[in-house]
Amino acid sequence: MTYSLGETQEAYEEPYSFKITRKLPIVIRAKLRNYKRLIQSLEKPFSLEFSEVMDQTTLFAIGQIQDAVFGYCHNDEIIFILKNNEQPPWLRNDIQSIVSIISSFLTDGFRQSLEIFGDNINLSGNISFEVKAWALPNLNEAVNYLIHRQDSCIKNSINRACGFELEVKVGRDKASALFRDKSYNDKEDMLLNYCGIDLYEYYPNNFIFGSAIYKIKSIKPDKLSSRNRWYVNNDIPNFINDKGFLSTILTNGADIFRAAQLNK
């Protein structure tokens, strides 16, 4: 059999068009490239302005992702959870298409958000995102994945806060020596004992636990109708202590229990 030039070239491409299995939840994880260099001139250990830009970037992107139900943002990382129930699936569940489109959404969203919310932000370099996508076996594993990523956020926040505050208090060399080989509980104690700082009272909640973007019921003034709208929550719980928070949103596609409180 003789193949045309076009058929031959398409045959080369096709084996690399990997697709995620339908009906399985999808995780999309994006990270800023060269994060430490980018933020070297920002306020330490936490910049509220930069955090707001990242939240708004997540909000910009998630509204354009079919079947997305949850976004999680901390430091240089953005995560999306897709239920993957729609027919046909978004971008045919083609991994290369998903990661390239998401990267474009985030880069565009970051630049727009920086113009609006980043008046005092001077980044040391250009913005780009590295994106990966894969499937999980069920929504329960999506909950576990978000718990895992938030745990990483908490540990990172403890390291950053303790390292920064100790260095201010006792100098870099002594701080490094005190910091070495300590558990995260020890670091929290050091922050309190050496610096008089309670991590959970002194720092903003989203520095420690991250931010979440998901839908809530937006109740109209006549209270006879409602619709879902995307909501940025900077006061989220510790997921491991409140798994119901995640499972409710992932299952229903929105927070159906706290709408009245969040719409105040």
Q: What is the rounded CA–CA span in Å between residue 142 and residue 75?
A: 20
What pLDDT is attached to residue 12?
76
Mean pLDDT value of segment 54-65: 98
**CATH topology for 19-141?**
Alpha-Beta Plaits (3.30.70)
Q: Is 149 exposed, middle or buried (0-12, 13-18, 19+ CB in 10 A)?
A: middle
The amino acid present at 191, given as its one-letter code, is: L
Residue carrying the six token digits 């990270």: 31
* pLDDT of 259 higher than 60: no
pLDDT tens, position by position, 104-143? 999 999 999 999 999 989 998 899 999 999 999 999 999 9
Residue carrying the six token digits 């970051």: 110
What pLDDT is attached to residue 54?
98
Q: What is the rounded CA–CA span in Å between residue 81 and residue 70?
A: 5
Percent of the chain with pLDDT over 90: 76
The residue among 258 and 241 whose pLDDT is bigger is: 241
- Contact present, 51 and 63 (Cβ < 8 Å): no
The residue among 4 and 65 whose pLDDT is bigger is: 65
DSSP H or E run through 191: helix 184-195
What pLDDT is attached to residue 257?
72
Contacts of 232 (CB under 8 A, 6+ apart): 55, 56, 58, 59, 211, 212, 213
User: For residue 10, what pLDDT band results from cuts at 50, 70 and 90?
Assistant: confident
The residue among 258 and 31 whose pLDDT is bigger is: 31
User: For residue 224, what pLDDT band results from cuts at 50, 70 and 90?
Assistant: low
Question: Would you state the structure tokens that stand for residue 4, as one six-digit string?
Answer: 């045309």
- CA angle (155 as vertex; 153, 159 as ends), nearest 5: 115
Mean pLDDT score of the chain, rounded to an integer?
A: 91
Sign (positive or negative) of CA dihedral 92, 94, 96, 100: positive
pLDDT tens, position by position, 209-219? 999 999 998 76
Question: Would you state the structure tokens that stand for residue 77, as one six-digit string?
Answer: 């990382």
Percent of the chain with pLDDT over 70: 94
What pLDDT is attached to residue 3?
79
C-alpha 34 chain-centroid distance: 17
Residue carrying the six token digits 């520095």: 207
Q: What is the rounded CA–CA span in Å between residue 207 and residue 199?
A: 10
Neighbours of 191 (CB within 10 A): 23
pLDDT tens, position by position, 66-105? 999 999 999 999 999 999 998 999 999 999 999 999 999 9
The amino acid present at 206, given as its one-letter code, is: N
C-alpha 214 chain-centroid distance: 11
* pLDDT of 39 higher than 70: yes
Give the predicted TM-score (pTM) of the model.
0.92
What pLDDT is attached to residue 226?
66
Q: Is 93 exposed, middle or buried (0-12, 13-18, 19+ CB in 10 A)?
A: buried
Mean pLDDT value of segment 151-163: 96
CA distances from 205 to 48, 145, 210, 214, 218 (A): 11, 20, 7, 17, 24
Mean pLDDT value of segment 2-15: 78
pLDDT tens, position by position, 177-192? 888 889 999 999 999 9
What pLDDT is attached to residue 263?
55
- Domain boundaries, given as residue ranges, for the chain: 19-141
